[in-house]
Amino acid sequence: MEIVAATNNAGKLKELRRNLEPMGYTLRTPRELGLDLDPEEDGTTFEANALIKARAFCEAAGMAVIADDSGLEVDALNGAPGVHSARWGGHHGDDEAKNVKLLAELAGVDRAARAARFVSAVCFCLPDGRYFTYLGTCPGWVDFAPKGTNGFGYDPIFVPDCTGTADGRRLPNTAGRSYAELEDWEKDAISHRGEALRVMQARLAEDLAAR
């Protein structure tokens, strides 16, 4: 199936393609279709923002769309940055500013109180108006300094509780590696986005048949 990815984020596009193509999807980017959209994500939940993006791109493209809204929830900050993750600490896409702000907010907070989780809401939307949303999470904690270069966003400061194996199993992250220190396959097996996409793969056919 050919679908449009409702994002211009290069890191997210790479991750979506890496996860979706083995599932049998052909991913088209907004740039390939000549789409220049930036819908206002004013929802109060990840699910609401994913739907906003999915509907906007679906209407413009006239074909199936997949949209992801994701972010980091930190317990010590009462769930912030949450749905504001993309613009936390500065302009949209300024990863370094976001990480600097988050680490400053957690200054003086010890390891035991730095629990956090990544959350992803993936929305699959069709031109006939049907849409389905799937959630994925990845628990972990916020490190004291950035580590690694293989990632984007908060990846260098987020340490997941587990890492993945080539056959999709989960192992304890005893080395304390950040998302950005993991190989792609290690991250995909345990990531919030990978989890949401696997839930979608398992349920989408049944959901489409039911509606």
Which residues does the annotation mark as catalytic?
Answer: 69
Say if residue 81 is preceded by a cis peptide, omega within 30 of 0: yes
User: Beta strand pairing status for 26-28 and 131-142?
Assistant: unpaired
**DSSP 8-state class, residue 24:** T
Round to whole Å and give the CA distance between 153 and 31. 21
**DSSP 8-state class, residue 178:** -
Find the helix or strand (DSSP H, E) in which 16 lies: helix 10-20
Which tokens in the block code for residue 98?
């976001």
128, amino acid identity: D
**DSSP 8-state class, residue 48:** H
